[in-house]
Every structure is written in C-alpha cells, then in structure tokens.
Amino acid sequence: MAEQLRLMAVHAHPDDESSKGAATTAKYVAEGVDVLVVTCTGGERGSVLNPKLDRPDVWANIADIRRAEMDAARAILGIEQAWLGFVDSGLPEGDPLPPLPEGCFALQDVAVAAGPLVRLMREFRPHVVTTYDEEGGYPHPDHIMCHKVSVAAFEAAGDAERYPELGEPWQPLKLYYDIGFSKGKILALHEAILATGIESPYAEWLTRWEDRPDKGPRITTRVECAEYFPVRDDALRAHATQVDPDGFWFQVPMELQQQAWPTEDFQLVRSMVDSPLPESDLFAGVRETAHAR
C-alpha cells in the first residue's frame, strides 16, 4: 500500500498561502494529500489594504485579527497550518531605506531560524516542499528570508549530523519555487480581457514589465487547478485586512481566468527522484517511490 503523500508549503505571512499556490494546495487536499502550510511570521507589520477595515480598532488588534483570518483561510483550503513564530519585518520604504526593526524575521541568523522548520519537516515528513525563489517572489525582506530558511531546512532535514536534537532525519524528495507571475501569464490574461471588451487591469503592469526579467523560462511544472480558483479566491478574501474585495485581484471574471491560464506554475530546483521535465504534477516521480519510504 502506497505511503500517504505529504506536501509542505512555506510562506512568509498569513495571506501568502492564499495568494500563492492556493489552488494547487486545494487540488491536492481534494485528492487526499496531506498539506501543511508553514507561516514564518504573524504578519504583525502588514498594511491594512482593505479601505473598509482601515480603522483604529483594526490596527490596534492587527496581530489577533490576522491569526483569525488565517484560521478562516485554513478551513476554506482544508489544510493544516503551523506558525514558526517569527516577527514580521515590515516592508521598508524610503530613500535611503530605513533599517529593519530589531528582532524581526529578516534579521535572524539563517542557521538558527532554519531550526524550527527542520523540526517541522522531521515531524510532518513532507515528500514535496514549496517556497519562494531567491528574490522572494517579490523583494520583501520576509519573503527573501523565507526562501533562505526553506532552502537551508530542506538541505539539513535529512542530515543526521545537523540539528540532531530536532528529531529523526527526514529528507524531502523535491523542492519547488512558486512562480506566481510570468510575462506569458499576464499577457494571456490581458489579451483575454481585452477580447471581451473589458478594460484590462494589467495594462500598466505590462508596461512596467519591459524593464523586468521574465521568470517564465524558469517554469518546469504547470499544475492544472482551474477548478480550484474559486477556493483560492475565497481563501484570499478570508484575509479581509489584506485584500480589497472590490480591488485588483478580483477584477478578472473567473471563467476567463480559468480559460486563459488554467495552471499554477512552479520551478523544480531540487529533486531526489527521477522526474522528466516539463511536469504537470508536484508529485511526479514521488508517487512511484513513496511506497518504499
């Protein structure tokens, strides 16, 4: 009998699990995979991006509110979730940028900060781990630190000589970076919207993209999950302080999204199994070997 498949998705803040790869995790949950989302920080320094909730009482209780929002999103996605317990670094603004707050996640020693994640990997024993690329998906200090900690933990979890006090070694079989947006995806959505006669919210984004590198060529794995886009959006709306339900993310009609770009995309960066590229399944090569673990 094959071993239960397990997926761990490591994110920086509550809401990231719903805006990055959420339809993929919902798909695997529906297929019977155990999914654990690891949230590195509590999002204590996040902005309130929903104008309807930009109130003093919300700001005064933002940490508790964001935990409650995570509880709601977790239930919608059907996932397990664990907090690493680090403090949000905030997104510094200005020129020059101000220093990061003392004690925040991004200022931790990577080897020390990876310890709690190594412990979780050894306890949960994921076959597949997803996280952000070296730029954090976008250059938020917590996202970049999330990348560093995830890679360090992936490489250490199976080594009995490293963190010996944190449980029996377990080596995940594959590590992926979430490629949330590529130029091809944005262009496909943009053109599909224009074809319906609707004004595209991506026009300005594409103009800015001329000076940015395209991560499309890095994509190795496209997971068909359009059926779960509504679940993704419901989970994202559960993070009510972080998204405006009348805003940018929800302007594109659902059926159009599902038709124009029905996948979520990833880059395979580490693999202990044979899995020819391109892939359509994060567990490609794992399903055939999990029964032997």
Domain ranges of the chain: 6-181+218-292
* Model pTM score: 0.95
* 11 within 8 A of 5, measured Cβ to Cβ: no
* 23 within 8 A of 265, measured Cβ to Cβ: no
Architecture of domain 6-181+218-292: 3-Layer(aba) Sandwich (3.40)
Question: What string of DSSP letters covers 214-233?
Answer: --GGG--EEEE-GGGHHHHH
| Predicted pLDDT at 201 | 87
| Predicted pLDDT at 190 | 94
Where are the extended beta strands (E) located within the chain? 6-11, 34-41, 80-86, 128-131, 174-178, 221-224, 263-271
The pairing of strands 174-178 and 263-271 is: antiparallel
Assign 127 to helix, strand or coil.
Answer: coil
In which residue ranges of the chain is pLDDT below 70?
A: 1-2, 291-293
Tokens of residue 120, six digits: 């979780």
| Predicted pLDDT at 137 | 86
Residue 165: DSSP 8-state: G
Q: How far apart are CA 165 and CA 161, in angstroms?
A: 10
| Predicted pLDDT at 291 | 57
Residues 134-153 have pLDDT tens digits of 999 888 999 999 999 999 99
Q: How far apart are CA 252 and CA 40, in angstroms?
A: 30
| Number of Cβ within a 10 Å radius of residue 288 | 13
Residues 233-259 have pLDDT tens digits of 999 999 999 999 888 778 889 999 999
Q: How far apart are CA 267 and CA 103, in angstroms?
A: 32
| Predicted pLDDT at 292 | 53
The pairing of strands 80-86 and 34-41 is: parallel
Q: How far apart are CA 72 and CA 239, in angstroms?
A: 8
* 33 within 8 A of 77, measured Cβ to Cβ: no
The pairing of strands 6-11 and 128-131 is: parallel
* 118 within 8 A of 153, measured Cβ to Cβ: yes
Annotated binding site: 13, 16, 143
* 10 within 8 A of 40, measured Cβ to Cβ: yes
Annotated binding site for Zn(2+): 13, 16, 143
| Predicted pLDDT at 249 | 78
